[in-house]
């Protein structure tokens, strides 16, 4: 009872986000603020927490009764996220074996996929705890340097067009583009010097990966980001791989990442035909919803994602091999030649998948 009271107090404290927020569905009839409050208190009383994605899910529409919401949607968000995390930490089929170890470390994930001949960005360098653990021999051979700074100075004499990312990062944090041409260094397209770059890259554990050249149709939405497909798969108790809930993450012009948390747009994908849905979703601080890209004004509805069915089949094949993972959120780039697997996420978020594609109550059976 005390915890529920704390949730109600938190709800009122953050009422501008969870009671009085702007709607994502401006063209529909909406509930009163009092009804929204009652809905949120109902969630607290029944499930132990309010729904933080009440507005992106469109629960503020008058057509969304509590009965309809509870039958069609997985609510509240936090309770389901705990299930995802628990089942990927302790898979009932394999006991106390952490399946997330395959997806949480981007270096492990990359070398695993390379061994399986599944397309993934090529790693040129991996720095961990101030030491170079891996380097592509084309870029860095064995030299008798005294320290890592000298080794990196040699490495960065090579021309390259790459992305640098923390090996265990999430939500696009810490990722930056790096381009070197004729000994000129550009970080996120801004000219800098070698000392700044070395200080930046040795502060944590970082991977340097070759840039993936995406399909021209994907680049048309936003040219400065790699616009990737997010696809979820889950393994049933019988071992069957179930693909569900896909969307396209599209960045904003000038950004280097497509993440929703960094202002990107998330658009649902129809699993049957690989086409985008009508509405794209932005994080509240960046807006609400849109039917075309905010910068390039390309409409979303009926855009067919190239190689989508191939991406789904490859994700299912990969999850079958990574059998210790209960569920995975795959980040997949689309090139002219087909899908390229960027990352696998063991702690994927269910929020945007439901917002963009509608309720996913039907897949909850695989998480019980």
What does the block give as tokens for 273? Answer: 């035909």
Residue pair 203/164 in contact (Cβ under 8 Å)? The answer is: no
Q: Which two tokens stand for residue 201?
A: 């890259």
pLDDT for 324: 87
Q: What is the pLDDT of residue 277?
A: 98
CA 128/CA 204 separation, integer angstroms: 7
| Local confidence pLDDT in tens for the 368 residues of the chain | 888 999 999 999 999 999 999 999 999 999 999 999 999 999 999 999 999 999 999 999 999 999 999 999 999 998 899 999 889 887 777 766 677 777 888 888 998 999 999 999 999 999 988 888 888 877 666 455 567 888 888 889 889 999 898 877 665 677 888 999 998 999 988 899 999 999 888 888 899 999 999 999 999 999 989 999 999 999 998 999 999 999 999 999 888 778 887 889 999 999 999 999 999 999 888 999 999 999 999 999 999 999 999 999 999 999 999 988 999 999 999 999 999 999 999 889 899 999 999 999 999 999 98
d(CA 165, CA 175): 4
Reduced to 3 states, what is the DSSP secondary structure of residue 77?
helix
Q: Give the H or E element holding residue 124.
A: strand 123-128
* CB distance 151 to 142 below 8 Å: no
| pTM of structure | 0.90
Domains and their CATH numbers in the chain? 2-72 (no CATH), 82-119+215-367 (3.30.470.20), 123-210 (no CATH)
Whether omega for the bond prior to residue 76 falls within 30 degrees of 0, making it cis, is yes
pLDDT at 90: 79
Instruction: Go through 261-291 and write b for each residue having 16 or more CB atoms within 10 A of its CB, e for each that does not.
Output: ebbbbbbbbebeebbbbebbbbbeeeebbbe
The pLDDT assigned to 263 comes to 86
pLDDT for 140 equals: 65
pLDDT at residue 95, as a whole number: 67
Token pair recorded at residue 180? 């070197």
Q: Report whether 89 contacts 55 (CB < 8 A).
A: no
What pairs with residue 161 in β-bridges? 179
- The contacts of residue 118 (CB under 8 Å, 6+ apart) are 314, 317, 318, 341
């Amino acid at each position: 009872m005390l915890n529920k009271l704390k949730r109600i107090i938190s709800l009122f404290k953050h009422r501008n986000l969870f009671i009085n927020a702007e709607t994502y569905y401006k063209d529909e009839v909406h509930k009163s603020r009092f009804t929204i409050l009652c809905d949120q208190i109902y969630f607290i009383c029944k499930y132990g927490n309010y729904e933080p994605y009440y507005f992106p899910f469109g629960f503020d529409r008058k057509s969304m009764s509590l009965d309809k919401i509870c039958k069609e949607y997985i609510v509240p968000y936090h309770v389901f996220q705990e299930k995802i995390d628990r089942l990927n930490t302790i898979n009932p089929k394999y006991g106390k074996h952490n399946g997330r170890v395959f997806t949480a470390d981007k270096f492990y994930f990359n070398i695993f996929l390379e061994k399986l001949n599944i397309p993934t960005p090529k790693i040129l360098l991996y720095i961990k705890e101030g030491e170079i653990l891996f380097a592509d021999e084309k870029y860095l051979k064995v030299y008798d340097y005294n320290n890592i700074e000298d080794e990196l100075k040699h490495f960065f004499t090579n021309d390259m067009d790459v992305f640098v990312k923390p090996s265990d990062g999430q939500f696009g944090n810490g990722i930056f583009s790096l381009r070197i041409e004729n000994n000129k260094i550009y970080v996120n397209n801004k000219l800098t010097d070698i000392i700044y770059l070395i200080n930046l890259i040795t502060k944590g554990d970082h991977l340097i990966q070759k840039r993936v050249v995406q399909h021209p149709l994907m680049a048309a939405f936003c040219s400065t980001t790699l616009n990737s497909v997010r696809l979820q798969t889950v393994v049933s108790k019988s071992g069957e791989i179930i693909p569900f809930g896909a969307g396209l993450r599209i960045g904003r012009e000038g950004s280097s990442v497509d993440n929703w948390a960094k202002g990107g747009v998330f658009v649902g994908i129809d699993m049957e035909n690989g086409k985008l849905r009508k509405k794209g979703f932005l994080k509240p601080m960046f807006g609400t919803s849109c039917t075309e890209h905010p910068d390039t004004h390309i409409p979303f509805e009926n855009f067919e994602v190239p190689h989508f069915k191939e991406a789904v089949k490859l994700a299912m094949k990969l999850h079958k091999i990574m059998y210790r993972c209960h569920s995975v959120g795959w980040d997949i780039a689309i090139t002219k030649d087909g899908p390229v697997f960027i990352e696998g996420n063991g702690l994927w978020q269910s929020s945007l998948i439901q917002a963009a594609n509608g309720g996913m109550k039907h897949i909850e059976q695989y998480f019980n």
